[in-house]
Homo-oligomer: A and B are copies of this chain.
Amino acid sequence: MPTIAELGENASLARTIARLNLATAALVGPGDDSAVVSAPDARFTVTTDTMVEGHDFKLDWSSAYDLGYKAIASNVADVAAMGAKPTSLVVALICRPTTEIEWLESFADGLRDGCLQFAPEAAVVGGDLAIADTTVIAVTAHGDLEGREPVLRSGARVGDVVAVAGTLGKAAAGLALLQSGNADAISAYDELVNFQRRPQPPIASGVVAAKSGATSMLDLSDGLSRDAARIAKASNVTVSLNRRDLQGFEAMLEEAARAIGANAFDWVLDGGEDHSLLATFAAGSTIPREFKPIGEIIARTNHDVLLDMAPVAEGGWDSVRD
């Protein structure tokens, strides 16, 4: 199997592009200086994020396919968090020159299947391939607001219900299992490990929340405590969480936590990479069924986030410290 350095840039890219799906919105796809994408309501949303080997993933723990899939999942979650529908992505991959073309093709398969899973009309419309000693994946994702106003972090108001769509702590549990090196536990709780490798964010719920009048929203990439604090700061309010409403998430993780001597509630509160959607809705409004209420917005206190009215330290993931 040839390496990408043996094949060169043009041939490597051609074999990669051939495996991608097509974006409905792509007027010009991969292969020119730029792609051209339609933006029907004369606006587009754009977000960018990186995955760095050794910090965000290990090549021993994630396959090329997993990484492509996760790159799509995590980035379209930032589109969904605006209340937008994902339309297109560009992906820059930096990998070792000794990378076999088969690895690159599997990565492209993961990109394609991630799109087909979460946003079937969206696809990768452009990219870049380069080499270094560290693998880095940089993705930019675009969305269509379909005429709606974007749902920002700054719109939460006192009295709003705080609710979450998707899981809490599953990806962190999967990471802790991998880090434990406990082969029995990794095998017994492979659903959690696979969730870490291939997260399942509730992408369609972003548009649903926007249509239901969500007042603020973001995707939980760095952990509930840290991301809830972002809504609190941007909206100048305090997020008050109820531990009782989080027990269901905790219960699903307790057995795995016991197996490796960890604390399931820490995963629920501080675990990153679930890419679930945290949103606020006006009191008395109809909350979409996929959003589970977990607290309420109260007037600004000295703290961003309270749990059963006690201050929550800002845990979670810091991209330049961890």
A155 to chain B, nearest CB (A): 10
Chain A: number of interface residues, binned into ranges: 35 or more
Asked whether, in the complex, the Cβ of B138 is within 8 Å of the Cβ of A8, the reply is no
A67 at interface, CB cutoff 8 A: no
**Residue interface mask A131-167, B partner, CB < 8 A = 1:** 1111010101111010000101110000000000000
Which of B38, B55, B154, B234 interacts with A42 by CB under 8 Å?
Answer: B38
Chain B residue numbers with a CB within 8 Å of A7 are: 320
Asked whether, in the complex, the Cβ of A46 is within 8 Å of the Cβ of B42, the reply is no
Chain B residue numbers with a CB within 8 Å of A140 are: 46, 48, 90, 140
- Whether A132 touches B320, Cβ cut-off 8 Å, given contacts A32-B153, A43-B39, A81-B34, is no
Q: How far, in whole Å, are A149 and B313 apart by their CA atoms in the complex?
A: 53
A67 to chain B, nearest CB (A): 15
Asked whether, in the complex, the Cβ of B320 is within 8 Å of the Cβ of A82, the reply is no
Residues 307-322 of A contacting B (Cβ, < 8 Å): 318-321
A177 at interface, CB cutoff 8 A: no
Which of B5, B46, B54 interacts with A126 by CB under 8 Å?
Answer: B46
Chain B residue numbers with a CB within 8 Å of A33 are: 47, 78-79, 81-82, 153, 217-219
Q: Chain B CB within 10 Å — which of A46, A92, A130 has the most?
A: A46
Q: How far, in whole Å, are A40 and B91 apart by their CA atoms in the complex?
A: 25
Asked whether, in the complex, the Cβ of B132 is within 8 Å of the Cβ of A8, the reply is no
Residues 1-49 of A contacting B (Cβ, < 8 Å): 4-5, 7-10, 12, 27-28, 31-49
Asked whether, in the complex, the Cβ of B27 is within 8 Å of the Cβ of A36, the reply is no
A-B contact pairs, 24 of them (CB 8 A): A5-B320, A7-B320, A8-B318, A9-B319, A10-B318, A32-B218, A33-B78, A35-B47, A36-B43, A36-B150, A37-B45, A42-B42, A46-B140, A48-B91, A50-B94, A50-B130, A52-B94, A55-B130, A90-B140, A92-B138, A97-B320, A129-B319, A129-B320, A131-B320
